[in-house]
Structure 1
Amino acid sequence: MPTLKAAAASTLSLPAENYIYSITASVPGSFAAISSDDSLRVFDANRLDHVLVVSRKTHDGGVTSLRSYPTSNSQLLATGGREGAVKLWDVRTGNTMLQMEMARHNPVLSVACNSETNTIVAGSELVSSQAIVSFWDIRNPQAPSLQYVESHNDDITELQYHPSLSNVLLSGSTDGLVNIYDTTVTDEDEALIQVINHGSVHHAGFLSDRTIFALSHDEHFSVHPATDPDEPGQGPEPVHFGDVREPLDCEYVAQLCIGSQGPYIAAGNKMKRSLDLVPLVPNPAWQFDKDNVWHLPGAHGEDVIRSVYLDEQSQSVFTGGEDGYVRIWKLGDDGDAQAQAGTAKTSRKDKKQKDRFKPY
């Protein structure tokens, strides 16, 4: 069971009583983070003290989501906010390149990007009995190019494009549904390829071209085969793990991470001040590989970890949490790792906590 040690930690110069929402890749060798102070910051992957504040006030009402807009040099970032806007940022200049408005100004809770089709898509909070999946062509961003308004009846917490099919989009919602769409179809009913009923969706996405996962806000986890409309017939049965807190000895699941060796469940335990990356393996059926768990002792002390990023280029794991820190973890000998255990105590004990189960 490999153990990682905390190699570096930084608050990214955040004001006191703030914490990290999400981390994603930015320009080569750097990462971006959004935080509870509504800022967008980019930091060096090797020197956490090298921080560029792209915007101190990313969105009116609060920033909720962050995604990289993949280009040849990955210098664009997309954010969503509670005022009902999606913004595309140029990291080089720190300026907003584009701003797109959600219909009825529904707060944006989730964002996905597809540079192959020049598309940014946003999922909204439920307002006046309507939750919207809205698409924009960034070459003509004045109005949505497509909207789905009937597929969900509660907050849309997750959006993700298929890993190899640029026309296939996944959405997840607190209404309990994970939907798969063919976005070349404008009729909403006909666009739906597959519907999975899982429970209030915290995270969902593609494990592979043919496999979907879903994680609920009460830590229930499942794996489902993706429907292939060109190959009708009975596929593999879904695997329902149920509540994974007891089998993974955790209090919460931060997210699912996918590396070149496969997917990992990031399972946190505040009481034990630990984070484990538990491999999820498909043979003979989907199961947790508890013999090859990666341990991050100390984690973020007694605070929840909000975001985990596996960076295989630097062979590091980046974590961001409610203690207000970004931490870098690297492989070390057991002695070094054990010395780190218990040292990741928060220095911000008086900060205000926010409910992690509330979609943000």
Structure 2
Amino acid sequence: MVIMGTTTVEFMFNQLSLAQKSSTSLDSVEEDYVLNISSQNGDGNYIAATSSDFSARLFSKDTLAVAGVVKGHTDVLSDICWGKSDINLLFTSSKDKTVRCWDTRMKLTKEVQSFKGSEECVNVYTCVDINLTDQVLCAGQEVDKDGNVFLHFWDRRQTEVLGAYSESHQDDITQVKFHPTQADKLISGSTDGLVCLYDISETCEDDALSYTFNSCSTVASIGWCGDRTDQVYCTTHIDTLHVWDTIEGDDLYENTDLKEILKDKNSIDYIVDLIVGEGDKYLVLAGKHNGEMRVIELSSSDKVSSVICNLSGGHKATIRCLYWNNKDKYLVTGAEDSLLCLWSACGNKLDTATSDGLKKAKMKNRKTVSKRSHPY
């Protein structure tokens, strides 16, 4: 999540054009969905993207050239994140019931650490994040056959479970996100419709749970936002949007009819994720199943929604994820067509190597574009 000025937002996004493309698969039989994108902090040069072929690929931020492939999981990767203080560390969660740590300075076919749950609660991991100090690792799970769902915590210096929360959610946990500047603050979202805020420095789950916010639908994505990063946002699988204040617990924004408001030439099929503006402005990236995208400005004061930018010509299928670089003003998107697209305000054209590589890929075009689903 990023913060930007509102006076030049529309101008800035209208400068974006397709600069680079890169494929996560050269398979001519079936495309691999791009499921998640995560970028190294600071001066790090890599973007990592997971795909439905059980791997993650590292791409150069500047050119989207493939720099390496992380292989080792035996099932689909459900989430990915970079270390906050050590940007060479990459963490992945998977349907194979493990969370793994990779060091990009070493061989990418063997993890440097592997984390599992305790014997009584070994289950599929659906999401992962690491805190500000890179010391506490957290991963969420699917609900098990007995109706239990766990948030697991590890001290990264050891692989045994440090502790677990099991009372806050009643269904699959879809995302966990640590606060970007406060190591003990964590939020989690679930298909039970709840977004929970914790202070993990407390000794038990009851004391750690600070707020429970209800989205009234299954939670798709969550994140921290606001001028002081003191707000939490949530998008849902029915494409509604919520923003809450984490100090007083107030509901700051709720939009339940974005698709209804935007019709005709500006119509959308789904929300990809949120990009946050200053003050009372929020920016949403929304899409159509044919690969078109729209940047939509929302106002919490009057809840007016307007399309400020249209992006097309990159993807041909449903967009799954995004990364926005506020410093250098570029956008990276990943989709079900197995493509990663870089949208830059510099107006760069596709370089020859990338363009030729895509032509040679000969990827199969779908006859119909699928609705968003969860392949993992």
Look up the match of 1:294: 309
Larger strand proportion, structure 1 or 2?
1
> 2:243 & 2:371 partners in 1: Cα distance?
26
Counterpart Cα distance in 1 of 2:104 and 2:59 = 11
Give the number of the structure with larger relative contact order, counting CA–CA contacts within 8 Å between residues 6 or more apart: 2
Secondary structure (helix, strand or coil) at the match of 1:60 reads coil
1:267-317 CA-partner distances (Å, limit 9, x unpaired): 00125x4211223455xx2745626x232123412x101111112344321
State the match for 2:4 in structure 1. none
Q: Please show how residues 11-22 of structure 1 align to structure 2 within 5 Å.
A: 11-16=23-28, 17=30, 18-22=32-36
Partner of 2:20: 8
1:30 corresponds to 2:46: yes
Q: Are 1:269 and 2:288 an aligned pair?
A: yes
Q: How does 1:60-209 map to 2 (within 5 A)?
A: 60-72=74-86, 74-93=87-106, 94=108, 95-103=110-118, 104-116=121-133, 118-128=135-145, 129-141=147-159, 143-198=160-215, 199-208=217-226, 209=229
In structure 2, the partner of 1:252 is: 270
Q: Deviations over 1:177-230 (max 9, x none)?
A: 1111111123222221000111210112221332121111011111111135xx
Q: Which residue of 2 is the match for residue 43 of structure 1?
A: 59
What displacement does 1:50 show? 3.7
Q: Is the 8 A contact 2:132 2:182 kept in 1?
A: no
Q: Is residue 83–residue 134 contact of structure 2 (8 Å, CA) maintained in 1?
A: no
Label 1:133 to 1:351 Cα distance change in 2 as closer, same or farther (>3 A): farther
Distance 1:260 1:226, change over 3 A: closer
Change (3 A) 1:358 1:99: same
1:127–1:137 CA distance, 2 compared to 1 (3 A): same
Task: State the Cα distance separating 1:236 from its structure 2 match.
Answer: 4.6
**Residues 259 and 242 of structure 1, relative CA distance in 2, 3 Å threshold:** closer
Alpha-carbon shift at residue 172 of structure 1 (Å): 0.4
3-state SS in 1 of match to 2:224? strand
Cα-Cα RMSD: 2.8
Residues 171 and 179, structure 1, Cα contact 8 Å, conserved in 2: yes
- The alpha carbon displacement at 1:155 in A equals 0.3
Deviates more, 1:154-163 or 1:247-256: 247-256
* Residue in structure 2 matched with residue 220 of structure 1 by the alignment: 240
Count of aligned pairs: 335
Name the counterpart of 1:343.
none
Which runs of structure 1 show a deviation greater than 6 angstroms over 4 or more consecutive aligned residues? 259-262, 351-354
Q: 1:236 to 1:97 in 2, by over 3 A?
A: same
TM norm structure 1: 0.84
Tell me if structure 1 keeps the 8 A contact 2:298–2:306: no
Show structure 1 runs of 5+ residues with no match: 229-234, 337-345
Range that drifts further, 190-199 or 3-12:
3-12
Residue number in structure 2 paired with 1:324: 338
| Cα distance in 1 between the residues matched to 2:302 and 2:47 | 31
Q: Does 122-131 or 24-33 show the bigger shift?
A: 24-33
CA contact (8 A) 1:109 1:359 kept: no
Give the Cα–Cα distance (whole angstroms) in 2 for the partners of residues 202 and 127 of structure 1: 20
Question: CA deviation digits over 1:215-251, x for unaligned, max 9?
Answer: 11011111111135xxxxxx65432211322234310
Shift of residue 351 of structure 1?
Answer: 8.5
Amino acid of the residue matched to residue 136 of structure 1? W
When normalised by structure 2's length, the TM-score is 0.81
Which residue in the other structure is 1:339 paired with?
none
AA aligned opposite 1:296: L
